[in-house]
Structure 1
Amino acid sequence: MIGRLPEVRTVSADHEPSGPSTTEEPPLSRIITTALPAHGHTGPLLAVSADLAARGHEVVFLGGSRFAGAAERAGVRFVALPAEADFDDRDLDGSFPGRSSLPPGPERLAFDARHVFLDPIPAQYRALLALLADFPADAVIADAFLQGALPLALSRPRSQRPALIGIGVTPAMLPSVDTAPFGPGLPPLPGEEGRARNRALQEEADRRAEPLRRYTEKVYAGLGVEAPRGPRGLAAVTVPDHFLQLTVPGFEYPRSDAPAGFRLIGALPGAVGDEQPLPSWWGELTAGRPVVVVTQGTLANDDLGELVAPTVTALAERDLLVVAATGRPGGPQALAGLLGGSLPGNVRAVDYVPFERLLPHTDLLVSNGGYGGVQTALRYGVPLVVAGASEDKPEVAARVQWSGVGLDLRTGRPAPVEVGAAVDRVLGEGRFRERARALGAELAQYRPFDTIAELVEAEAHSVPVGR
Structure 2
Amino acid sequence: MARFLLASVPIAGHTNPLKPIARALVDAGHVVDWYTGRDFRDGVVATGATHLPMHAELERQAAKFSHDHPEREALTGLAGIRWDLKHLFLDPVVQQVADLRELTGRLRPDAVIADMGFVGASALHELTGIAWISVGISPLPIPSRDTAPFGSALSPSATTLGRLRNRLLYSLMDNVVLRDVGNHWQQLRASIALPPTDVPPFATISPLLHLQNGVAEFEYPRSDLPPQVRFVGSLADDPSAPFAAPAWWGEVTSRARPVVHVTQGTVANENLDDLVGRTMRVLSEDEVFVVVTTGGPDPSVLGELPGNARAARFVPHSELLPFTDVMVTNGGYGGVQKALSLGVPLVVAGATEDKPEVAARVAYAGAGLRLRSAAPGDDTLRTAIRRVLREPSFRRGAQRLRDAYARIDTRAELVRLIEGSVRQTR
Query: TM exceeds 0.5?
Result: yes
Deviations 1:7-57 (A, max 9, x none): xxxxxxxxxxxxxxxxxxxxx110001111100110011221122112111
Tell me how far 1:141 sits from its aligned partner: 0.7
Mapped partners of 2:325, 2:60: distance in 1: 37
Deviations 1:109-154 (A, max 9, x none): 2111100111000111111111112100001111011000012221
Unaligned 5+ runs, structure 2: none
Could you tell me whether the CA contact under 8 Å between 1:121 and 1:148 is conserved in 2? yes
Partner of 2:184: 215
Partner of 1:86: 59
1:233 aligns with 2:233: no
* TM-score, normalised with respect to structure 1: 0.87
1:443 aligns with 2:405: yes
| Aligned partner (choices 118, 121, 127) of residue 149 of structure 1 | 121
Tell me how far 1:262 sits from its aligned partner: 2.0
Could you tell me whether the CA contact under 8 Å between 2:114 and 2:135 is conserved in 1? yes
Partner of 1:432: 394
> Aligned to 2:274, what secondary structure does the other structure show?
coil
Compared CA separation, residues 94 and 189, structure 1 to 2 (3 A): closer
1:224 aligns with 2:193: yes
Deviations 1:318-337 (A, max 9, x none): 1100101111141x21112x
Partner of 1:308: 276
* TM-score, normalised with respect to structure 2: 0.95
> Aligned to 1:365, what secondary structure does the other structure show?
strand
Could you tell me whether the CA contact under 8 Å between 2:61 and 2:87 is conserved in 1? no
Tell me how far 1:229 sits from its aligned partner: 2.1
Mapped partners of 1:125, 1:31: distance in 2: 17
> Aligned to 2:121, what secondary structure does the other structure show?
helix
Mapped partners of 1:50, 1:203: distance in 2: 41
Partner of 1:387: 349
For 1:410-429, what aligned pairs fall within 5 Å after superposition?
410-429=372-391
> Aligned to 1:197, what secondary structure does the other structure show?
helix
Deviations 1:359-399 (A, max 9, x none): 00000000000001001001111000000001000000111
Could you tell me whether the CA contact under 8 Å between 1:289 and 1:321 is conserved in 2? yes
Tell me how far 1:256 sits from its aligned partner: 1.2
1:248 aligns with 2:220: no
The amino acid that maps onto 1:218 is Q
1:181 aligns with 2:149: yes
Could you tell me whether the CA contact under 8 Å between 1:295 and 1:327 is conserved in 2? yes
Unaligned 5+ runs, structure 1: 1-27, 337-341
Could you tell me whether the CA contact under 8 Å between 1:87 and 1:95 is conserved in 2? no
Deviations 1:314-361 (A, max 9, x none): 10031100101111141x21112xxxxx11100011111111010000
Once the two structures are overlaid, the 10-residue window that deviates more, 267-276 or 386-395, is: 267-276
> Aligned to 1:167, what secondary structure does the other structure show?
strand
> Aligned to 1:173, what secondary structure does the other structure show?
coil
Once the two structures are overlaid, the 10-residue window that deviates more, 308-317 or 180-189, is: 180-189
The aligned length equals: 424
Partner of 2:10: 37
Mapped partners of 2:381, 2:62: distance in 1: 28
Mapped partners of 1:109, 1:433: distance in 2: 33
Tell me how far 1:306 sits from its aligned partner: 1.0
Mapped partners of 1:178, 1:460: distance in 2: 31
Partner of 1:193: 161
Partner of 1:7: none
The amino acid that maps onto 1:115 is H
Partner of 1:135: 107
Mapped partners of 2:202, 2:65: distance in 1: 22
Compared CA separation, residues 312 and 43, structure 1 to 2 (3 A): same
Deviations 1:373-426 (A, max 9, x none): 001001111000000001000000111101100000011111221110001111
| Aligned partner (choices 207, 224, 230) of residue 257 of structure 1 | 224
Structure with the largest fraction of helix: 2
> Aligned to 1:446, what secondary structure does the other structure show?
coil
Could you tell me whether the CA contact under 8 Å between 1:294 and 1:311 is conserved in 2? yes
Partner of 1:374: 336
Partner of 2:305: 343
Could you tell me whether the CA contact under 8 Å between 2:147 and 2:158 is conserved in 1? no
Paired-residue identity, %: 39
| Aligned partner (choices 371, 380, 384) of residue 409 of structure 1 | 371
For 1:265-284, what aligned pairs fall within 5 Å after superposition?
265-271=232-238, 275-284=242-251
1:123 aligns with 2:95: yes
> Aligned to 1:427, what secondary structure does the other structure show?
helix
Mapped partners of 2:336, 2:410: distance in 1: 17
Compared CA separation, residues 168 and 398, structure 1 to 2 (3 A): same
Tell me how far 1:84 sits from its aligned partner: 2.4
Tell me how far 1:58 sits from its aligned partner: 0.5
Could you tell me whether the CA contact under 8 Å between 1:38 and 1:88 is conserved in 2? no
Mapped partners of 2:250, 2:29: distance in 1: 40
The amino acid that maps onto 1:192 is T
Tell me how far 1:232 sits from its aligned partner: 5.1
The amino acid that maps onto 1:196 is L
| Aligned partner (choices 376, 379, 397) of residue 359 of structure 2 | 397
1:164 aligns with 2:132: yes
Tell me how far 1:254 sits from its aligned partner: 1.3
Tell me how far 1:240 sits from its aligned partner: 4.1
